Each structure stands twice: as structure tokens, then as C-alpha cells.
Amino acid sequence: MKLSNPNGTIKEDDIQKFESINGFALPKAYRLFLLENNGGETEPSTFFISENEGISVLNSFFGLGDIYENLQDFIEIYDERLPDGFIPIGNDPAGNVICVSINESSSDNIYFWDHEQEIENPNEMSNVFFLANDIEAFINNFYEG
């Protein structure tokens, strides 16, 4: 798997500032991913969602800093649309979102949020599908489509 890093590097101070602004701590594996990669694009980028949902392709992972696909911007875009305790960390070309859980019971778990099935009460989670235990496991499941 190849991960491109067009967003440049960040430091622990950048993450701490982000956490302070948002009022939550990032999960351990996702925090490490940001420090090592700060988002980016993968090759390969196809991943399996579920038997019913099929497959999708990662467009990119969001990063921190003065960049086009800024994590903070996407948190604001999806505020009140995603279930409580989920933050958007990437997307696919169709506008669906890859999320990481910041909930204590499922911290670091990665999910797919299907915007075509968006519901009025996002906490019902009928349009959310578990993908992996953490970002590394998610990336390791990518394959050529």
C-alpha cells in the first residue's frame, strides 16, 4: 500500500490545538496516523463495506493545517449529520464519509457513513457500517478495484 502525503507534516502541538478547539481527544491510532501522514491518498484505494453495500473507493483522508481537505472544515460540514462521537476523516467520490469513533466504547473504530441513506436522527445509525477496528486495519484491507 502506498500513501501519498500532499498535506505536509504536522506536530503534536497541532493536534493538541485541534483537540482544544473541538473539545475532544483523538483516538490513539488515528492520532498516530495524522502525525505520520496528515491525511492523503492511498494506492490501492478500494475497500469492502458490507454484503449489502458492496465496495467503495477512498477519495482521500483529511488532514490538519492550511490545506484543501481540512479535517476541521469537514467536522463543521457534518456537524449534526453524523452520529454522536463520530468524526469524518475521509470521503469517497460519491460524497460518503469515512468516520472514526471517539466514543470510549468504540474508540478508534472506523465506519462508513452512507449519505444516500441519511436519516433525520443520525444516532439511529442505520446508514453507518463498521469497517475496521482502527485506521491501520482499514488501510490494510484496501485492494486494487
Interval 57-90: pLDDT, tens: 999 999 999 998 999 999 999 999 999 999 999 9
User: Any idea what DSSP says for residue 81?
Assistant: T
Among the listed residues 80, 5, 12, the one whose alpha carbon sits nearest the alpha carbon of residue 39: 5
- Above 80 in pLDDT, residue 5? no
Convert the pLDDT of each residue in 89-134 to its tens digit: 999 999 999 999 999 999 999 999 999 999 999 999 999 999 999 9
Residue 24: pLDDT band with limits 50, 70, 90: very high
Among the listed residues 114, 24, 135, 138, the one whose alpha carbon sits nearest the alpha carbon of residue 75: 24
Q: Hunting for cell 492523503 — which residue is that?
A: 40
Task: Report how far residue 74's alpha carbon sits from residue 70's, in angstroms, rounded to the nearest whole number.
Answer: 7
pTM for the structure as a whole: 0.95
Among the listed residues 65, 69, 116, the one whose alpha carbon sits nearest the alpha carbon of residue 88: 69
User: Any idea what DSSP says for residue 26?
Assistant: P
Task: Report how far residue 130's alpha carbon sits from residue 104's, in angstroms, rounded to the nearest whole number.
Answer: 16
What pLDDT shows up at residue 98? 98
Task: Report how far residue 82's alpha carbon sits from residue 68's, in angstroms, rounded to the nearest whole number.
Answer: 21
- Above 90 in pLDDT, residue 1? no
